[in-house]
Structures are given as C-alpha cells and as structure tokens.
Structure 1
Amino acid sequence: MTENEISKIVFELGLKIHRKLGVGLYERVYEECLMYELKKAGLKAERQKFQAIQYEELFFERAYRMDILVEDKVVIDLKSVEFISDSNTKQLNNYLRLGNYKLGMILNFNSPLFKDGVKRVANGL
C-alpha cells in the first residue's frame, strides 16, 4: 500500500470520527478513536512511537515521539487547536526527514470543517 493510499484511508477515518464526536475534545480522545478505526480497517498502526536519531557520535534512543505511525510509512500528528501553525508543520517536517518517512499528516480535530484542519506534508514523495 502506498503512502497516498494510506493517507486517503486516514482522511476518511478522521472524517468519520469528526462527524461522530465533533470538535473541542482532547487530542487523546481522537487518538484513541483513530487507533481503533485504523486497526478495524486492518492497518498496522503504532501509537506514541519513539524515534531514534543520531547526531555525529551522539545517539538519542528516544529523540521524539510521533502520535501515530501507520504501516511504517505515514506519520500522523493529531491536534485539537484553533489553527495549524507553521511550527506544527516544521515539527512534522523534521519527523519525516529524521525518520526517513515520505508523508505525514496533521489532523486538527478542532476545525469546524474537517477538511480545513487537514494538512499533508511530503518529504521527497
């Protein structure tokens, strides 16, 4: 399954959750629901996954933690904020670059229209 195929499924599942729960809940609630839906759809998903990085001779075993990693390919960053900021996008870009992933998605469940709260971030895709 390609990154684009995975992202379409993630979008549809996020939309389903957004329609059922609405806006304004804690990110943790949306994360639990998305994990449930991903597993129900038969996708491999890891929650709160740590990523290691190396800087010269220095190795960080737990350098950062991703909200969800789907099929070892797509990084999902969940938000419940007023708007997606540039720093949110830059952070996801770093996760992609440092983990050698090609696609990430920011899903902001606090947006009245779900599609307006979704941002795809590509790294060499």
Structure 2
Amino acid sequence: MSLTKGYLKDLVYQVNGAAIEVHKSIDPGLLECVYHQCLKKELELRKINFVSELSIPLKYKGFELDSKLRCDLYIENALVVELKSVNEITPIC
C-alpha cells in the first residue's frame, strides 16, 4: 500500500478507534500488558496488520549494538504505537 498522507490519516483513525474500543470494554487501572493483549485482539478483529514487540536496532558508528529497544506495536509497516498505562492523568502545569 502507498504511504500517502490520506492513508496514514485513515490508519491513525482506525487504530485510535481500536484503542478507544479497548478502553470502553475493560476497566481502567490494569497493567499495560493487559491493554496490549486486548489491543492486539482488537486489531486482529479489525483485520489491521501489525507486529508486536518489534526489536529496534541500535547502530552506533557503524556497529549494531545489543539494545533491548522494542516498540509495542508496528502497524501496517507504517505506524509505531507505544502503549502506556497510568492510574490517572495529572496536569503538567
């Protein structure tokens, strides 16, 4: 698929919708891994392709280093999603 601006906008809309569905369906305050599993299932139900826990290579001065960096979800070879779970959102100011 072409990575046009419209395609990416639609993909973000679909993924946000999936995340909102998970948020509405399960209780708040659970561990991040629970939301991760539920979002993976929701993406599968919506037939959205993704890779979970994709390793991110770390290169330094031409060397590939062992890093343990991972993104939670890499969706449709175009969108990186990093999940976070908090008990409450506090204001920044």
TM-score range, shorter chain: 0.7 to 0.9
After the TM superposition, which segments of 4 or more aligned residues of structure 1 sit over 6 Å from their partners? none
In structure 1, runs of 5+ residues without a counterpart are: 87-125
CA distance in 1, matches of 2:76, 2:47: 10
The structure with the largest alpha-carbon Rg is 2
CA distance in 1, matches of 2:63, 2:56: 14
More strand by share: 1
Instruction: Identify the residue that residue 31 of structure 2 maps to in structure 1.
Output: 26
State the 1:62 CA deviation.
4.5
1:46-76 per-position Cα deviation (integer Å, ceiling 9, x unaligned):
1111011321122135551001110111111
Instruction: Identify the residue that residue 58 of structure 1 maps to in structure 2.
Output: 63
Q: Secondary structure at the match of 1:9?
A: helix
State the 1:24 CA deviation.
0.5
Residues 1:6 and 2:20 aligned together: no
CA distance in 2, matches of 1:44, 1:34: 12
RMSD: 2.0
When the two structures are superposed, what TM-score results if normalisation uses the length of structure 1?
0.60
Count of aligned pairs: 85
Instruction: Identify the residue that residue 77 of structure 1 maps to in structure 2.
Output: 82
Q: Aligned partner of 1:76: which letter?
A: V
Contact (CA 8 Å) 1:24, 1:80: kept in 2 or not?
yes
